[in-house]
Amino acid sequence: MKAGARGEGRGASRPVVVKIGGRAQSDPALARALAAAWTAAPGSLVVVHGGGDEVSALQRALGATPTFVGGRRVTSAEDIELLRMALSGSANKRLVSALVSRGASAIGLSGEDAALLTAAPLDPERLGHVGDPRQVNVALLRHLLDGGYLPVISPLSRSERASEGAGADSVVLNVNGDDAAAVLAAALEADELLFVADVVGVLVEGCVVPELTPVDTGQLIATGAASGGMVAKLEAALAA
């Protein structure tokens, strides 16, 4: 899925933002393609990743049941450490290692690092510690891109409440990777925002829809024709 084409030239000033779903990361062709794109134009790419299956596996191993609302994971304070381990730890470093092995100067980050992403609680009553990304440390990303590095970002984010001296369990919010990619693309004025997942595309009555207007997208969400994780992707595309 591609959203928000803006501008005609590519380079460090107007990069491409790619969001990679958790299951899609297991395809070895993906790291090769990303590394090749970076090699062709260093400083032109930012990667955001998910890793929901790993988080769900950890939750189940500890006796919890993963729950989702509108494609977003209901997150307790206890889940935050699991998310740090699975997303900012395992998934992030595995993807970075695959990219470095293929010649890309990839560097792993989370939204917590240098307050790269700052978020506000999205819907605490229904979702718990889930955030709506609000601010991006663009200077950090520009510094890395201009230096020829490929940022690989886990979407866990610093809460706006951290500056208010909130308790430790309120400092970090789980931000959906699609939402994080959208706000990063907007802040960087990216040429393109790409969502890479293990599905063929947006389906309506079993057929892939090759293009959607904002009105079409809103109708798919409102009528329930789009559901689950696809809702989050469509909403993120509209936000971008």
Please tell me which residue in 21, 43, 52, 131 is annotated as part of the active site. Answer: 52
Q: State how far the Cα of 35 lies from the Cα of 97, in Å rounded to an integer.
A: 11
Please tell me which residue in 79, 113, 132, 178 is annotated as part of the active site. Answer: 178
Bridge partners of residue 108, in order along the sequence:
152
Amino acid at 102: R
Please tell me which residue in 4, 19, 43, 191 is annotated as part of the active site. Answer: 19
- Do the beta carbons of residue 184 and residue 116 sit within 8 Å? no
Task: Let me know if 178 is a catalytic residue.
Answer: yes
Residue 150 half-sphere exposure toward CB, CA atoms < 13 A? 30
Amino acid at 29: A
Please tell me which residue in 21, 111, 132, 233 is annotated as part of the active site. Answer: 233
Task: Let me know if 52 is a catalytic residue.
Answer: yes
Torsions phi, psi of 236, nearest 5? -65, -40
Task: Let me know if 22 is a catalytic residue.
Answer: yes
Task: Let me know if 2 is a catalytic residue.
Answer: no
Q: Are strands 172-173 and 150-159 parallel, antiparallel or unpaired?
A: antiparallel
Q: State how far the Cα of 219 lies from the Cα of 238, in Å rounded to an integer.
A: 12
Please tell me which residue in 4, 21, 22, 128 is annotated as part of the active site. Answer: 22
Task: Let me know if 167 is a catalytic residue.
Answer: no
Where in the sequence numbering do the catalytic residues fall? 19, 22, 52, 178, 233
